Amino acid sequence: MTLPPDAVVRRRPHYRRDGAAVYFLISHRPALTLADSEIALYDALAAAVTIAELAALHPAACERIAAWHDAEIIDLLPPSPPPARPLVAIEPHMDDVALSAGGRLLLRRGERPVVLLSVTRESNVSGYWTLQREFFDDAAITKLREAESSLVAELAGGTHRTLGIPDAPLRYRPASEWNAESLMALQDGLAAYLAFPPQTSDVNALAQRLADEVLPLDPAELWIPLGLGGHVDHRMTRDACVVMLAEHWDRFADIPVLFYEDHPYSTYFPAQLDQIVGAFAARGTRLTPMPADITTVFDEKVRLVGVYASQFKSRAMEPKLRERSREIGEGAALIERAHRLDTRPQLPPESELAPDAAAIRAPRAAFEALSRETRSLTIIFGAAVGPWERSMRILLERFPVAHLRALIANDRLWETSEWSDPRVEVIGVAGWLGPLWREARRAGERVIVIQFAPWPFDDRWRQQIFKTALPAQSRILHAGLAALFALRPRIVCRHLGDLL
């Protein structure tokens, strides 16, 4: 590769040197072994430095830099763009723009400054979760993820900012509770938390914070997520962006505003795209598809995504990225697609935007038909609880005179330990057979059943997040429950958020 003397080299933030060995994060296997003469060259990369400066340190600097570049240990920064109003790209998490619109971003590189604005900041999420490795230090992971995003922004010709909101796992439970031993139980509840729909008060608060950050930047162009999938952070960011745009339409009407298709959720929820576009169209909000041919920069996009190596490896992400881009391009080209906002937006109800909108329509209608004067309501939590306090507060407000009974497995009672209310009765369940039989005899009393989940954890997680079909044993179980509760008005849902 050609290395101009004035090219700036930046080392990726994932590597640590111990003697001659260079390790990736907490790995015990060296990713690189340095010759004695290479140590000073490697250490010089702790800060941004030019090829010319490196060449003065080592006679084979260009050869080493080229090899380390191929190994994705270092990157070469592009020239700075000319001064201009920025392109502002908003993302729920520190990696979403690269995954969803990284090719489009690279095609535009050099035109104008880019501001990459992440809604969330503090995080304990890493690729080690799937391995159940002990790497949960939120301060270290947050610092690492910010360094990754700063490098991605530099590679796109810009800077990175964040609103500083904690990532969803840390909003669900504090950092001190997360470790390799507790991970499986916490992730079970986190799945229900992530699938809980954004609430109006949270959306409005985030919209104001976004406005405070974005309006002073006076963007020449704005990119925001379409909110595909069921992840609350993607849905809330989309909703808040729409509220911000509607409230300040005079500031945005004359600039391009693009909704990018969230990856990987665009792969798992292909029908949701038309559903969302249709829901906006039904309220007079027109979205026009804007495909971008990223064939020439696809490999560079994969490399850009690989900067987020704390979360995933580029080689693991490449197949799905290619598959989705080829699918959009109908096999003729690799395409990223966004949707241009052509009119002042009006936000549809969240239930019309959810990935399982059709499935939740009937239980939502049944729930909304319940009288505000309902005096007793039982909730049977067949799965994890998730956002306990928020769910119960919504129900207490919705039914101001009701006594709520919550049946929860004993091994999930810890989810309820930090909040209580005199009108909420928590009933621990050691085994379900007896309690369900007793509940069936309470004829006429209304009951909400959260679907039971008698299948392996990994499948349960995917079922909550990616809305995969219930396994056969669960369908049989719920058919039995329907017969058992024949005398009780019942609503069955995947999680309580489907109704709220």
C-alpha–C-alpha distance, residues 484 and 286, integer Å: 48
Map residue 479 onto helix, strand or coil: helix
Residue 75: enclosing H or E segment and its boundaries? strand 74-77
In the predicted structure, residue 415 carries a pLDDT above the cut 70: yes
Q: In terms of Cα–Cα distance, which of 406, 405, 402 is closest to 371?
A: 402
The CATH T-level fold of domain 87-352 is Rossmann fold (3.40.50)
In the predicted structure, residue 459 carries a pLDDT above the cut 80: no
The region of weakest confidence among 92-106, 198-212, 431-445 is 431-445
Per-residue pLDDT tens digits for 34-93: 999 999 999 999 999 999 999 998 888 999 999 999 999 999 999 999 999 999 999 999
How far, CA to CA in Å, does 113 sit from each of 118, 217, 418?
16, 11, 46
Report the percent of the chain where pLDDT is more than 70: 97
Question: Do 87-352 and 356-498 fold alike per CATH?
Answer: yes
183-194 helix and 232-247 helix, angle to the nearest 10 degrees: 30
Q: What is the 3-state composition of the chain as percent helix, strand, coil, each rounded to the nearest 5? A: 45, 20, 35
Res 130: pLDDT: 79
In the predicted structure, residue 152 carries a pLDDT above the cut 70: yes
Domains of the chain by residue range: 8-77, 87-352, 356-498
Tell me the average pLDDT across 192-211: 95
Given pLDDT bands bounded at 50, 70 and 90, which one contains residue 286? very high
In the predicted structure, residue 178 carries a pLDDT above the cut 60: yes
- The structure's pTM equals 0.95
Mean pLDDT for all residues in the chain: 93
C-alpha–C-alpha distance, residues 380 and 407, integer Å: 5
| Span 356-498 CATH architecture | 3-Layer(aba) Sandwich (3.40)
